[in-house]
């Protein structure tokens, strides 16, 4: 029976180890360890007279499961006045905010960014001032004189240009200022301040971060992140380099109703971050189209056809010869995603397409080549536009 007790003991040890790893880590840590991104919604709450609290700042922090990868995190700011389609109509994001119930705002952000929001943090003005003052102020270069008076909000801003050490009250004025600017100018200023704040926090050490986390959580910050999760995230991101390219703004287009999201532009940003690759639209791909067959006007007609499908054609003409047995795509770029986009269209009309890097192309290409060309398309036998 000794073997039986050995088996039972091994099973119990395995169960104990499994339970330890299951319950000794936070839910966020387990998600990251599974290879999943974690997304945290940040809301800066403003108290507006006669209207109550509203979302004055909205941002999404994405944390990669690979802290050593090229995109360990990203920080995306949303204009509070950005229109989103919610329950059958276009509404500003700030109008979806409800203190104590972020359901509508989270749903809108998830739909815009096409991600799942895992946690949220709501910081009001008092919390923000307390954080900055606890750090002893934040130093940055104020880009211009900031002066603004709004009696209805009891708001007076007067910050001179130049290098400043901003305490909590003046830091709040700095991130709220928007006089004479569009919303995007204010968002860029908020990101600039956040950058300076993180640098100051890192200079104080991880112990200071732990104390600040406890201060904010004990002070009643509205969040579903607990102390252990916050501490784990601080440790995980502590030595990750700050990179400007990982701070972005949701692109928008002005419409008669207001600013609406530029969904293509937003997808390009998020794909570049989350999938660590560049997302292109066809109008970013530049082509030269040449006729390598005996069919007259084929290059011109094919150029019009390709432009109608979104590509940019900057030159059309004859190839170096007229007996190409198949269509040839000469690469002047090594971007695989661009190649994929043009090939999927060319193959609609060509029975086969040969892809050749420019350095290996045995023929002669036009000189001078227009600037910025990605591919030379040489139309060969069998390329048909009819039907």
Tell me: pLDDT of 10 over 70.
no
Q: Is residue 144 part of a domain?
A: yes
Do 383 and 329 contact (CB within 8 A), yes or no? no
Tell me: pLDDT of 296 over 70.
yes
Q: pLDDT by residue (tens digit) across 33-47?
A: 999 999 999 999 887
In a shared domain, residues 169 and 51: yes
Range of the domain at 302: 282-379
Q: pLDDT by residue (tens digit) across 172-209?
A: 999 988 776 668 888 999 999 999 999 999 988 888 88
Judged by average pLDDT, the poorest of 7-11, 70-74, 323-327, 377-381 is 7-11
Nearest to 37 by CA among 58, 60, 53, 15: 60
Mean pLDDT computed over every residue of the chain: 87
Between 153 and 62, the more confident residue is 62
**Structural domains in the chain (count):** 2
In a shared domain, residues 40 and 85: yes
Q: Which of 213, 240, 274 is the last residue of a domain?
A: 274
Q: Judging by DSSP bridges, how do beta strands 258-261 and 286-291 pair with one another?
A: unpaired
Token reading at 4: 């039986």
**CB neighbour list of residue 54: distance below 8 Å, 6 or more residues apart:** 45, 46, 48, 80, 94, 95, 97
Tell me: pLDDT of 18 over 70.
no
Tell me: pLDDT of 5 over 80.
no
| pLDDT grade for 153, boundaries at 50, 70 and 90 | low
User: What DSSP string describes 292-319?
Assistant: -SS-TTHHHHHHHHHHHTT-EEEEEEE-
In a shared domain, residues 174 and 295: no
Across the range 43-70, mean pLDDT stands at 87
* C-alpha span between 338 and 92 (Å, rounded): 35
Q: Is residue 111 part of a domain?
A: yes
Across the range 55-75, mean pLDDT stands at 92
pLDDT (0 to 100) of residue 331? 97
Across the range 143-165, mean pLDDT stands at 80
């Amino acid at each position: 029976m000794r073997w039986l007790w050995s088996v039972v003991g091994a099973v119990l040890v395995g169960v104990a180890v499994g339970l330890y790893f299951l319950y000794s880590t936070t839910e966020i840590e387990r998600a990251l360890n599974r290879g999943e991104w974690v997304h945290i919604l940040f809301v800066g709450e403003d108290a507006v007279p006669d209207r109550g609290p509203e979302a004055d700042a909205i941002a999404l922090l994405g944390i990669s499961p690979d802290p050593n990868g090229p995109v360990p995190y990203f920080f995306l700011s949303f204009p509070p006045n950005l229109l989103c389609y919610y329950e059958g109509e276009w509404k500003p994001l700030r109008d979806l905010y409800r203190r104590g119930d972020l359901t509508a705002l989270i749903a809108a952000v998830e739909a815009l960014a096409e991600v799942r929001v895992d946690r949220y943090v709501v910081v009001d003005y008092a919390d923000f001032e307390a954080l900055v003052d606890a750090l002893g102020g934040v130093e940055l270069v104020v880009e211009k004189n900031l002066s603004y008076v709004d009696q209805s909000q009891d708001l007076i801003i007067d910050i001179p240009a130049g290098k400043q050490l901003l305490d909590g009250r003046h830091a709040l004025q700095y991130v709220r200022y928007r006089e004479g600017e569009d919303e995007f100018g204010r968002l860029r200023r908020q990101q600039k301040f956040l950058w300076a704040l993180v640098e100051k926090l890192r200079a104080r050490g991880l112990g200071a971060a732990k104390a600040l986390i406890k201060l904010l959580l004990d002070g009643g910050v509205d969040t579903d992140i607990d102390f252990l999760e916050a501490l784990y995230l601080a440790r995980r991101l502590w030595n990750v380099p700050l990179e400007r390219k990982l701070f972005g703004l949701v692109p928008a287009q002005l419409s008669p109703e207001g600013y609406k999201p530029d969904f293509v532009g937003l997808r390009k940003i998020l794909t570049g971050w989350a999938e660590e690759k560049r997302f292109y639209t066809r109008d970013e791909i530049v082509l030269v189209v040449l006729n390598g067959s005996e069919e007259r006007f084929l290059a011109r007609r094919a150029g019009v056809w390709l432009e109608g499908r979104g590509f940019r054609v900057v030159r059309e003409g004859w190839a170096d010869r007229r007996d190409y047995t198949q269509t040839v795509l000469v690469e002047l770029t090594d971007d695989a995603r661009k190649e994929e986009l043009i090939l999927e269209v060319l193959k609609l009309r060509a029975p086969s397409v040969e892809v050749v890097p420019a350095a290996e192309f045995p023929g002669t290409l036009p000189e001078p080549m227009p600037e910025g060309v990605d591919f030379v398309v040489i139309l060969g036998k069998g390329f048909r536009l009819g039907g």
